[in-house]
């Protein structure tokens, strides 16, 4: 595939690959095709066999453990990047989590503990990453996270993740403003419904895919490659005037009432 931009000489961190079908994997592939050098993370030893083939296929030099719920692990990732590279040009945050019982409950029935955990892992972790990445982005950089249309509108069975993603998108706007003097950009990619391991936790997700496909003007769902091309562009300086934006990659599904 012809790269959409040239990221040769750039170094980026991708957080959130679960397997080769992850949105983060599609983005990592696009970054690598555009010439970037990558560091990837994996959740734990159980997840490593699913991520190792992706890392090997991309020629990744750094493959590091990162569970943002474990104190010190996220900081260790950035310490290693500082030691090995001394700088960072872009970051993709593509992690989200909510306890299953809270995700499957209505918003008014979810627990305070479950909501707090979903907010911490899915939203605040991006803010933490931005704080750790900023000192390494000495010549500017790009911070990206993955959102969903459920942040803007009520999506059946998306439940507490709607408010959490809305907070994530708002955080992007404030981070973009905070970091603008340092020439660091921030974006949310609102990806269309894609069959991924993470999405499988949403109740009746197959029904959601069918509904999205039916309402999309082209009648076609997006794939991880489509989202990856958008991410590669946002990692480049060409996207600087768009900092703070929520960029939709959903074949127009969000435009249809």
111-146 core/surface letters (b: 16 or more CB in 10 A; e: else): eeebbebbbebbbbbbbebbebbbebbeeebbbbbb
Among residues 10, 42, 165, 174, which one is catalytic? 165
Helix (H) or strand (E) holding 52: helix 48-57
Contact partners, residue 244, CB within 8 Å, separation at least 6: 172, 173, 176, 177, 185, 186, 187
Residue closest to 130 by CA, chosen among 53, 68, 65, 71: 68
158 classed as catalytic: yes
Known catalytic residues are: 158, 165
């Amino acid at each position: 595939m012809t790269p959409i931009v040239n990221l040769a000489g750039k170094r980026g961190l991708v957080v959130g690959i679960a397997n080769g079908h992850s949105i983060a994997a599609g983005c990592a592939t696009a970054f690598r095709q555009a010439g970037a050098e990558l560091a990837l993370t994996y959740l734990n030893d159980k997840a490593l066999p699913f991520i190792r083939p992706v890392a090997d296929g991309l020629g990744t030099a750094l493959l590091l453990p990162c569970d943002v719920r474990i104190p010190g692990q996220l900081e260790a990732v950035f310490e290693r990047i500082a030691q090995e590279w001394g700088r960072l040009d872009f970051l993709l945050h593509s992690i989200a989590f909510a306890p299953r019982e809270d995700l499957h409950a209505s918003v008014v029935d979810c627990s305070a503990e479950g909501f707090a955990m979903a907010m911490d892992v899915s939203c605040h972790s991006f803010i933490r990453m931005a704080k750790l990445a900023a000192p390494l982005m000495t010549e500017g950089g790009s911070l990206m996270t993955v959102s969903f249309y459920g942040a803007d509108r009520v999506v059946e069975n998306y439940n507490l993740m709607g408010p959490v993603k809305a907070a994530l998108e708002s955080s992007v706007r404030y981070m973009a403003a905070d970091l603008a003097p340092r020439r660091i950009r921030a974006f949310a990619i609102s990806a269309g419904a894609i069959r991924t391991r993470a999405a499988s936790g949403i109740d009746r997700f197959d029904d959601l895919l069918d509904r999205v496909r039916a309402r999309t003007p082209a009648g076609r769902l997006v794939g991880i490659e489509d989202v990856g091309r958008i991410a590669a562009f946002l990692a480049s300086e060409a996207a600087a005037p768009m900092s703070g934006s929520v960029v939709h990659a959903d074949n127009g599904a969000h435009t249809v009432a």
